[in-house]
Amino acid sequence: MSDTTTVRANAKCPICGKPRTAQHAPFCSKPCRDRDLLQWLGDGYAIPGPAAPQNPDPDIYPQDD
């Protein structure tokens, strides 16, 4: 098997649902991989955790005015 063959017969790309490839795992292609990256960079995904403070301490988080 080459690096571009399907990783597993039942493994699907989380973006479009097509079969995954080893070259772009866990995605099927570069466009799907890039689309996922843009979701992370654009705050489309978030890791659960405590909410950020509404009024952070200015001594810890100085404001750029």
Q: What is the pLDDT of residues 18-42, one digit of tens each?
A: 999 999 999 999 999 999 999 999 8
Give the pLDDT confidence score for residue 18 in this predicted structure.
96
Q: Which domain holds residue 32?
A: 12-43
Mean pLDDT along residues 5-29: 85
In a domain, 37, yes or no: yes
Is residue 34 within 8 Å of 24, Cβ to Cβ? no
Is residue 20 within 8 Å of 28, Cβ to Cβ? yes
For residue 37 the two structure tokens come to: 């990256």
Is residue 25 within 8 Å of 7, Cβ to Cβ? yes
**pTM of the predicted model, to two decimals?**
0.58
Structural domain count of the chain: 1
In a domain, 35, yes or no: yes
